[in-house]
Structures are given as C-alpha cells and as structure tokens.
Amino acid sequence: MKSWWVFRGSGQSNKQSNALPPPPPGRRFAFEQGGRERKVQPYPHSQVEIEQVNVALYLRRPLLILSRPGYNSTALAFSVANELSLGQVLYWPISRNTNLRDGLYTYDAVSREQDAQIASPEIYTDSDADIGKYFRLGPLGTALLPSDRPRVLLIDGIDRNTNELSADLTHIIGGGEFIIPELMRLYYNAEFIEIYNYDNEQVRIKNGIIRCTSFPFICIISYGTSNLSEELTNQCVGLEIKRPNKEQLKQIIQASFNYETHDQEITSIIDEILTQSKDSQYTTETILDTIWMALVTKQPLSEIVNQLRRLQNTTNTHEKSDSKILQYHAKQMFFGGFVQQMEVNMGDQVNISNVTGSVINVDSILENVSQNISTIPRGDSNYKDELKLLVKELKDLSREVPEEKKPDAEKMANRVDTAIKEVAKNDPDKELIKFSLESLKKAASNIAALVPSILPIVIQIVDHIKKLT
C-alpha cells in the first residue's frame, strides 16, 4: 500500500484517510448559472497562433483550428476573451447528433402545453408576450445577439458531426443572423418578445429576428478533416496547433506551475519524458499531469512516467488500429479561402506543409503576368486592361511587404502567374485555377495584417480571373 493512496480498496470508512489533494491547474472549474467561467492560466502562444488570431479578429472571420486532442487547443479562446475583456466564453461542444438549431435556440413546447393544462383558467394566460419564457438561446444564438462588443464562441469538435452541420454553419457565418420562426409568426401580435439567452438573462427579440452588430470571435476546433465542408473552411482563417517542443513545454509549464520553486525537478521530468517517448506521442495534457503527480505524490520520477506511459499506450490502442484507414494523403484543405497541402494520419502527428512557389523576384513574375494577360483568348479587352492595372497595384504593394513576409509575397506572385497562364489556354484546367486562386488569397491573408490594402486588390484580381475563365 502506497502512502499517497487516498482510496485503498477496503470499502470501509476511514476518517483518518488522507483528504483529496487539490486538482491540477487544468482541471479547476467554476460554473455560474447559465454560463461557463474558467480561471484563465497565462498560457503561452506561438507567434503563428497570435498572428492568425489577429487576422481573424481584423477580418471578423472564424478561426478554424486543426489539432489533436490533448494539445490544449481551447486555451486560445479563453485567452482572447480574457485579454480583450469580451466576457465569458460561450462553449458549444459538438457530438454526432448535434444540429444547427441546438446551437441557436431551444423551444420547450411540451412545458408550454403542460402549463396550459395544469393552471386554472383564472391564472393561466397564454399571451404572445408570455411565450418567451419557453425559449432559450443556445451558445451560437447568444453570440449573435446585438452588442457593442463581440462575444467569444468556442465550438469544440466540429469534425465529430457530419459535414451537414459545418455547411449549415456557413450560412450563419455569412449572414450574421438567424430567424426564430415560432416568434416571427407572432410579429403582428407582439413586436418585441423577451426570451432567455445562454447566460440565463432576459433579452428582447424584435420580429423573431436576431442579427449581430459585432460579429463574434468564433473559435472552431477540429480534430480531423473528414467532416469539414469546403463552404465552412472557405469562410475561416486557418491555424494548425502542433505538439510543442521542449522550450515551448517549459513555457507552458511555467505558466501552469510555480516553475521557479520546482525548476530543477520539472526540467528533469521533461527530459525524462522526451527521452523515453522518442516517437513524440505524449500530449501536453499528459505531460502536465505527469508533473502534477510528481509534485503532489512525491513518487519516484521513473514510476510516474511508467504509469502515464501505460495510460497513454492504452488510450492510443484504438487510435493506432484505425490509423491506416484514417489517412488523407495530399488532401486539399481550404482554410480561410486558401489551399494547403496536408497529410493527416490519425495515429501520428498532424503535419501540414504550405504549397510554396519558387523563390524568385516578385517584380519580374508580376511583370510576366501583365504580358500574359494580353494572350487570354476570352473576355473584353477593357476588362483585361483593368486586370493589368490591378496586377500593377499588386506589384507596387508587394514592395511594402516586410522581409519576414517575403515568402508569402513570392507565393502570391507565383499563384497569379500560374492562374493567368492556365486561363490563357484554349482548354484551361479549372481545378488548377481554383487551387491557385485559393492559395493566392491565403498568401494575401498572411500579409494583410502588415499591408492591409493588399487583400482587397487580390480579391479583385481573383474576381477578374474567374470571369475570364
């Protein structure tokens, strides 16, 4: 029997038994009625993560995160809400049976009917204004309420559902509004009806229509790609969260524990885990759990690592057995209107590599593009002249791109060049053109935070090329 055990298997009450220890930092929750509250740890984020969040905030687009379970992907949403003072995070977990209406609102028609049957005629009044108490907005519906400041909505596990949900979600993202048909039918009797939001607060709905004034910051997490619709991914800014390296792990651990007090001990644990797990299968959460167990139970490090390795191997058994089936080689995945080449193996680390062009001079590429526009056999000459002017503007703006974004500028120029050359053919490959234009917009989106005027020009170029195809 080990000294740190609080449950000893006797089945007998023992008043002298050790009390439960405090939970690990990541397992401390506080819930308020109608909402979700979590004490946000100062979780470190990479420069790529920070940049993509800012792009999503500037463009008022959802952030679509591709990750694996255990990499603490949800931390970004809570960090944004905390840092920008955007209130409690609205949390919408997705299951196999979730549909769009679950996120928008619920209507308890059964309770309304029961109230009508139970109450006496003298007391019960089934007026249109009273119907609101049987409605409750879901997390998505609450996020779309008119407000001066946007709310933060976390949609967790979108890939668990069919692609119908992600396709339905596209219409909400594009329009920023939805209708409650049951309330719209009452428009002539009651223009305003009070219902409850996800925070259990009463809100006034006009004409049964909910339309946002500040589009919410929506963080969509996907642990796979099979059920993501192209329509949804085209609307989002994309981000991949990978397994952190040793230095990043130290930063995460420093934010979660009293690192200065346990500096040497924690460093030893990290080294031991990374040494004994050369295939990098430990998740961030598993490593944090290992450190917590070591600090609280005072067990030998090797024993704790062995315990958690056995646990990790058990949980990975099913995942490994399906890894051959769940492979997507060189799958074209659309993130925020751009295309990336990806290879996903559910048993291994997710790997996404951008499709890059040749690193050559941007000016010379775009100069060739302008000349090739004249060879396009279709379209009005004035329209081609407009496209040439847009390409010239793009060339001028590309000179303002800072050094760290030059690869994106080169990729952008190469994608325009590929698209124009293909359009100039008598029988163009439309799939190749589509690929090039989506990749073009992706590269422009990466630059937009530093050179904002470049994205509108690229969008106009894309529209012109599509019309000439």
Q: What is the DSSP string of 190-248?
A: -SEEEEE-TTS-EEEEETTEEE-SS--EEEEEES-STT--HHHHHTSEEEE-PPP-HHH
Alpha-carbon gap, residue 121 to 118, rounded angstroms: 9
The answer to whether 84 and 150 are in contact (CB under 8 A) is no
The answer to whether 206 and 48 are in contact (CB under 8 A) is no
Alpha-carbon gap, residue 86 to 324, rounded angstroms: 42
Q: What is the CATH number of domain 47-240?
A: 3.40.50.300
Q: In 60-158, which residue ranges form alpha helices assigned H by DSSP?
A: 75-83, 100-104, 109-118, 139-143
The answer to whether 468 and 390 are in contact (CB under 8 A) is no
Q: Which residue has the tokens 């492979």?
A: 327
Which one is predicted more confidently, 317 or 135? 135
Is residue 337 scored above 90 in pLDDT? Answer: no
The pLDDT assigned to 5 comes to: 77
* Over residues 398-423, mean pLDDT: 87
Query: Please, is 319 exposed, middle or buried when counting C-beta atoms within 10 Å of its C-beta (0-12, 13-18, 19+)?
Result: middle
pLDDT tens per residue across span 48-95: 889 999 999 999 999 999 988 777 788 899 999 999 999 999 999 999
* Over residues 337-351, mean pLDDT: 33
* Over residues 104-110, mean pLDDT: 88
Residues in the chain: 469
> Residue 59 corresponds to which tokens in the numbers above?
């463009």
The reported pTM is 0.60
Residue range(s) in the chain whose domain bears CATH number 3.40.50.300: 47-240
Best mean pLDDT range from 88-92, 418-422, 444-448: 88-92
Q: SS3 sequence, 21-68?
A: CCCCHHHCCECCCCCCECCCCCCCCCHHHHHHHHHHHHHCCCEEEECC
The answer to whether 136 and 196 are in contact (CB under 8 A) is yes
Looking at residue 16, the DSSP 8-state letter turns out to be T
Question: In sequence order, which residues have a C-beta less than 8 Å from that of residue 258 and are 6 or more positions away?
Answer: none
* Over residues 317-333, mean pLDDT: 32
The pLDDT assigned to 450 comes to: 82
The pLDDT assigned to 297 comes to: 78
Q: Is 403 helix (H, G, I), strand (E, B) or coil?
A: helix
The answer to whether 171 and 108 are in contact (CB under 8 A) is no
- End-to-end Cα distance, the chain: 75
CB atoms within 10 A of CB 379: 16
- Out of 356-370, 417-431, 438-452, least confident range: 356-370
Is residue 383 scored above 90 in pLDDT? Answer: no
Query: Please, is 383 exposed, middle or buried when counting C-beta atoms within 10 Å of its C-beta (0-12, 13-18, 19+)?
Result: middle
Q: Phi and psi for 329 in degrees, rounded to 5?
A: -90, 130
Alpha-carbon gap, residue 196 to 204, rounded angstroms: 9
* Over residues 117-122, mean pLDDT: 63
Helix/strand/coil percent split, the chain, to 5: 45, 15, 40
The answer to whether 411 and 443 are in contact (CB under 8 A) is yes
Average predicted confidence (pLDDT) for the chain: 76
The pLDDT assigned to 210 comes to: 93
Question: In sequence order, which residues have a C-beta less than 8 Å from that of residue 431 and are 6 or more positions away?
Answer: none
The pLDDT assigned to 351 comes to: 34
> What are the b/e assignments for 277-293, b being 16+ CB within 10 Å?
beeebbbbebbbbbbbb
Looking at residue 71, the DSSP 8-state letter turns out to be S
Question: Please, which pLDDT band fits residue 334 given cuts at 50, 70 and 90?
Answer: very low
The answer to whether 410 and 359 are in contact (CB under 8 A) is yes
Alpha-carbon gap, residue 129 to 192, rounded angstroms: 8
Helices and strands of the chain, counted as H and E runs: 17, 14
The answer to whether 353 and 439 are in contact (CB under 8 A) is no
Residue 387 backbone class (left: φ over 0; alpha: ψ -120 to 50; beta: rest): alpha
